[in-house]
Chains A and B, each alone.
Chain A
Amino acid sequence: MSLGNRGYSLSRRRFLTSTAVGGLAVASGAIGMPYVARAATPVKVGIIHPVTGGVSYSGTQGRAGAMMAVDDINAAGGIKSLGGAKIDALLTDAQSKADVAASEIEKYNDAGVSAVVGGYASFICLATTQAAAKHGIPYVVDVGTDDRIVKAGLKNTFRFSPGYGVFVDTAVPTLDQINSAAGKPVKTAIIVHEDKAFGTGTAKLLQEKLPGIGVKVLDVIAHPTPNLDFNNIVLRIKAAKPDIVIPADYYNEYVLLARTMLQQKVRPKAIYSVLGGAASQYKFVHDFPEAAAYIMDCNHWYNPHKEAAQTLRKKTQAKGLYYTYEVFLNYEAVMLLADALERAASTDRAKIIDALASSEWSGHFMPYGPTKFVNGQNTGARAVNLQVQNNDIKVILPPEFANAKPIFPMPA
C-alpha cells in the first residue's frame, strides 16, 4: 500500500505513533505497567479526498477538516468503548478522478480499514461508495450532493449532509418567503449558469419552479468554465433589467460575474444562488467585500449559535485556512463515525454499519436535528439560507438558526 507517499502527514504521523507506542511499551515493560502495553489497537479509518486535480482546493479543505476531527478525538482519549483506541487515519488522494478513487478503496480494503470517510465531489462519491459496498466497508459521504449516491440502495453508505433535491426544494420556497415578506418586489429573474451538469441542472429546476412563486424567468444564459469575460453577459442582464439575478457557477466565474455587475453598475434587487460557487465562501467576502455584499445563497452551513462551530472556525483560521463548508462537513462526518464506533464497541465493519444505521447523534453543531438515516440519507439534514452582511456570512433562514435578518431588496 503506497498511501504514505501522497498523504502529507501519514508517514510522519505513523512514525510518531509507532515510536511513541514503542517507546511506551519499552517504558512500561521496564517499570512493570502491563496495562499500557496492552493499549487498544488503533481503529484504521480511510480518509479520501481529491487533493490534486480539478477540485483539489475543496479536497484539501475537506482533508484538513477531517484531520482536525481525528486529532480532537484522539486528544480526548480515543474511542472509549474500545479501550481508548486511537483513530489511525489513512490519507489518500482521489486525484479528482473517479477510477483512481475506486482503486484507492481496494487498497483500503487490503489495509483492513474499518470505515471510510470523504469523497467530496459527487462523481467521486458515486464511485467510492460502490467500491466500498463490494467489501461491506462502512462509508460516510462528506459532501457529494448528487442524490444518486444514496439512491443506489447501498447498505454501507451514509450521507450526513443534505442532497441536491433538498437544496432546490428549500431554495425556491424560501425565496418566496423572503420576497413575500418584503411585499413581492421581485417579479422577474435571469439565470446565469455554467454549461455542465451542476449549472445546467440547477438552471433547469429553477426555470420550472420559479413561475410557481410568481417570478418570471426573462432569460437563461449559459457560459463555459473557465470564462474570462463577463461583460457581454452583464450587458444582456443590464438590457433585460431583471429584479433578481440567479448565478449557478463555480467560484472563479461567480466572482468575475459579481465584479463585472458591480463595474457595469448593474444592481438588481437581489442576487440569489443555490449552492453558490462563491456566495458562501469567506475568501470571496474577504477578497471582494463590495462585490459580495448582500448576496444570498442556499447552502450547507453550521449552526452559528453552537459554541463548537465557532471554536472550529477559530482553529481553522489559526491554521491559515478559510472556514469553508468542506472543513466543517468533514469534521462532522468523522465525528458521526466516531459516535458509531463508540456505540458499536467494535472495529467490525458490519457492526459499524448497524451502528450508523441506527444513529441518533445530536452532538453535532449543524442546523440539523438528531441524525436519522433512511436508505443512507440523514433525513434530519437541512439547507439554510445565508447572506453576506457586514463582511461576514450570516444565516438568515430558518429563523431558529438565524443570526441576522434578511436585507432585501439589497440597498442601492
Chain B
Amino acid sequence: MVEAAIIVPAILNGLTTGAVYALVALGLTLIYGVLHIINFAHGALLMVALYGVYFLYALAGIDPYLALPVMVPAMFALGYVLQRYVIGRAGHGKDENVMLVTLGLSIVIENLALYLWSSDTRTIETAYGFSTVDLGVALIAVPKAIAFVGALTVTALLWAVMRWTDLGKAIRALARERRGAQLVGINVEHLYAMSFGIGIACLGAAACLLLPSYYASPHIGRAFVLIAFTIVVLGGMGSFVGALVGGLIIGVTESLGGLFFGESLGKIGVFIIFIVVLLFRPTGLFGQRA
C-alpha cells in the first residue's frame, strides 16, 4: 500500500513539524523546570500569539517573519505580567492552586477570543506560501523549511542564554535550589516571572513560524498543547535538549503513524510513546530526576 518513495518525504515532513512542536514544548519545559508548574494556559497563549501575528499582517501588513521582533518581546511581556501579577499572586505558592489558575486562564482566554474574534478561522496568504524547496527526494514547503531552521535557531539561542549569561545562571540556580538562590540575593519573584516570560516568548516565535502554513482559531492551541505535554514527558521534564529531540521524534512518529494507520489513528503512536515512557523511563530521555 505505502510506497518507499513516500516514506522519505513523510520523515522530512515529520521533522519540520516536529521542530515547531519542539519550540512549543520548549516554553513548557522551561516553565516546568524552573517554576515546577504545568502551564495549562500554554495552548491558549499560543493561540493569542497566532492572532497577534495574524493581526499584524492583516492590519499593518507586517510579514509573519518580520513580526518576530514584535511578537517575541510582546509575548515575553505578557508572560512576565501574567506570572508576576496573576498566576504568582493567585497561586499562593501552592502547586494545585497554580494548576487551577492556569487552567482557568486558558478557559477565560479561549472564550474571550471566541467572543472578540468569533470562531471564524483566520489564514494569511503570502507570496512564498505555495513555494517549495526541491530536495530531490521530496518537496518541502518554504514556510515549513523556514519554521524548521527557525525553531532550531531559537532552541540554540535559548540554550546559549541559559548556559552562558548571568540571567541563565540565575535561572538555573533557582531551578535547582530556591532557598539557596534567595540566600545569594537572587530576586525570586522577578526571576520566576522572567522564566515564565521567556517560555511564553517561545510561543511568540512559534506563532510567527507557524502562521504562514497554519491558521488561527480560538481552539487551535489545544491541538498543539497535548502534543507538547507528550514531548516534555518524552524528553524529560525541564530538559531543553530533551524537548528538541522529543519534538523531532514525536513529529516523525506522528507523520509515519498517519501514513501507516491513516490520519484518524495517526496520533496513536504518539500516545503509545507517552505511555511507554511513563512506564519504563518516567524521567524521560534526558531528564535527571523525576
Question: Complex: how many Å from CA A10 to CA B257?
Answer: 51
Is B262 close to A, CB under 8 A? yes
Q: Could you say which of A80-88, A101-109, A229-237 contacts chain B?
A: A229-237
Minimum CB–CB distance for B5 against chain A, Å = 7
Q: Which of B234-285 contact A (CB under 8 A)?
A: 255, 258-259, 262-264, 266
Per-residue interface assignment for chain A, residues 226 to 251, with 1 indicating a CB less than 8 Å from any chain B CB and 0 otherwise: 11110111011011000000000001
Among the listed B5, B114, B262, which residue makes an inter-chain contact with A221, where contact means beta carbons less than 8 Å apart?
B262
Question: Complex: how many Å from CA A52 to CA B10?
Answer: 37
| Residue numbers in A under 8 Å from B123 (CB-CB) | 255, 287-288
Among the listed A53, A221, A228, A265, which residue makes an inter-chain contact with B214, where contact means beta carbons less than 8 Å apart?
A228
Per-residue interface assignment for chain B, residues 202 to 218, with 1 indicating a CB less than 8 Å from any chain A CB and 0 otherwise: 00000000000011010
Among the listed B217, B263, B264, which residue makes an inter-chain contact with A252, where contact means beta carbons less than 8 Å apart?
B217
Task: Evaluate contact between B118 and A56: CB separation under 8 angstroms.
Answer: yes
Q: Which of A200-243 contact B (CB under 8 A)?
A: 221-224, 226-229, 231-233, 235-236, 238-239
Q: Could you say which of B70-78, B124-132, B190-198 contacts chain A?
A: B124-132
Are A288 and B125 CB-contacts (below 8 A) given A231-B13, A232-B258, A263-B130? yes
Per-residue interface assignment for chain A, residues 365 to 382, with 1 indicating a CB less than 8 Å from any chain B CB and 0 otherwise: 000000000000000000
Question: Complex: how many Å from CA A226 to CA B119?
Answer: 13
Is B155 close to A, CB under 8 A? no
Task: Evaluate contact between A229 and B17: CB separation under 8 angstroms.
Answer: yes
Per-residue interface assignment for chain B, residues 1 to 16, with 1 indicating a CB less than 8 Å from any chain A CB and 0 otherwise: 0110110011001000
Main secondary structure of the interface of B (DSSP, over half): loop
Task: Evaluate contact between A56 and B258: CB separation under 8 angstroms.
Answer: no
| Residue numbers in A under 8 Å from B118 (CB-CB) | 56-57, 60
Binding site for B on A (CB under 8 A): 52-54, 56-57, 60, 195, 221-224, 226-229, 231-233, 235-236, 238-239, 251-252, 255-256, 259-260, 262-265, 287-288, 290-291
Minimum CB–CB distance for B261 against chain A, Å = 11
* Closest A residue by C-beta to B263: A223
Among the listed A223, A226, A231, A256, which residue makes an inter-chain contact with B10, where contact means beta carbons less than 8 Å apart?
A231
Output the residue of A57, A231, A233, A288 with the most chain B CB within 10 A: A231
Minimum CB–CB distance for A3 against chain B, Å = 19
Task: Evaluate contact between B10 and A224: CB separation under 8 angstroms.
Answer: no
Minimum CB–CB distance for A60 against chain B, Å = 7
Write 16 A-B pairs (CB below 8 A) sorted by A numbering: A222-B262, A222-B263, A226-B219, A226-B220, A229-B255, A229-B258, A232-B259, A233-B258, A235-B9, A235-B10, A235-B13, A235-B259, A236-B2, A252-B121, A255-B215, A265-B139
- The number of A-B residue pairs with CB atoms under 8 Å apart is 82
Is B141 close to A, CB under 8 A? yes
Question: Complex: how many Å from CA A229 to CA B2?
Answer: 18
Are A239 and B3 CB-contacts (below 8 A) given A224-B264, A287-B125? yes
| Residue numbers in A under 8 Å from B116 (CB-CB) | none
17 more contacts with CB within 8 A, not counting A195-B264, A236-B6, A264-B139, are: A60-B118, A222-B264, A223-B263, A226-B220, A227-B263, A231-B10, A231-B255, A232-B258, A232-B263, A232-B266, A233-B263, A235-B10, A235-B259, A236-B2, A238-B6, A263-B141, A288-B123
Question: Complex: how many Å from CA A264 to CA B12?
Answer: 13
Output the residue of A227, A238, A263 with the most chain B CB within 10 A: A263
Task: Evaluate contact between B10 and A264: CB separation under 8 angstroms.
Answer: no
* Closest B residue by C-beta to A289: B125
| Residue numbers in A under 8 Å from B177 (CB-CB) | none
Among the listed B9, B119, B215, which residue makes an inter-chain contact with A57, where contact means beta carbons less than 8 Å apart?
B119
| Residue numbers in A under 8 Å from B129 (CB-CB) | 259
* Closest A residue by C-beta to B224: A228
| Residue numbers in B under 8 Å from A256 (CB-CB) | 215
| Residue numbers in B under 8 Å from A195 (CB-CB) | 264
| Residue numbers in B under 8 Å from A255 (CB-CB) | 123, 215
* Closest A residue by C-beta to B124: A287
| Residue numbers in B under 8 Å from A226 (CB-CB) | 219-220, 223
| Residue numbers in B under 8 Å from A259 (CB-CB) | 129-130
Among the listed A229, A236, A251, which residue makes an inter-chain contact with B13, where contact means beta carbons less than 8 Å apart?
A229
Are A239 and B139 CB-contacts (below 8 A) given A221-B262, A232-B255? no
Is B166 close to A, CB under 8 A? no
Per-residue interface assignment for chain B, residues 95 to 120, with 1 indicating a CB less than 8 Å from any chain A CB and 0 otherwise: 00000000000000000001000111
Minimum CB–CB distance for A307 against chain B, Å = 30
| Residue numbers in B under 8 Å from A233 (CB-CB) | 258, 263
| Residue numbers in A under 8 Å from B3 (CB-CB) | 239
Question: Complex: how many Å from CA A224 to CA B259?
Answer: 14
| Residue numbers in B under 8 Å from A239 (CB-CB) | 3, 5-6
Task: Evaluate contact between A56 and B119: CB separation under 8 angstroms.
Answer: yes
| Residue numbers in A under 8 Å from B5 (CB-CB) | 239
Minimum CB–CB distance for A259 against chain B, Å = 7
Task: Evaluate contact between A54 and B119: CB separation under 8 angstroms.
Answer: yes
Question: Complex: how many Å from CA A208 to CA B198?
Answer: 55
Are A232 and B13 CB-contacts (below 8 A) given A56-B119, A221-B262? yes
Task: Evaluate contact between A228 and B13: CB separation under 8 angstroms.
Answer: no
Question: Complex: how many Å from CA A259 to CA B217?
Answer: 18
Closest 9 CB pairs of A and B: A223-B263, A231-B13, A232-B258, A195-B264, A235-B6, A263-B141, A56-B119, A232-B259, A222-B264
Question: Complex: how many Å from CA A221 to CA B129?
Answer: 25
Minimum CB–CB distance for A160 against chain B, Å = 26
Question: Complex: how many Å from CA A53 to CA B219?
Answer: 11
| Residue numbers in A under 8 Å from B255 (CB-CB) | 229, 231-232
| Residue numbers in A under 8 Å from B120 (CB-CB) | 57
Task: Evaluate contact between A251 and B121: CB separation under 8 angstroms.
Answer: yes
Minimum CB–CB distance for B270 against chain A, Å = 13
| Residue numbers in A under 8 Å from B258 (CB-CB) | 229, 232-233
Minimum CB–CB distance for B241 against chain A, Å = 25
Question: Complex: how many Å from CA A50 to CA B121?
Answer: 17
Question: Complex: how many Å from CA A251 to CA B264?
Answer: 18
Minimum CB–CB distance for A125 against chain B, Å = 20
Minimum CB–CB distance for A148 against chain B, Å = 25
Minimum CB–CB distance for A86 against chain B, Å = 30
| Residue numbers in B under 8 Å from A57 (CB-CB) | 118-120
Question: Complex: how many Å from CA A228 to CA B226?
Answer: 13
Question: Complex: how many Å from CA A262 to CA B139?
Answer: 11
Are A264 and B132 CB-contacts (below 8 A) given A57-B119, A232-B259, A235-B259? yes
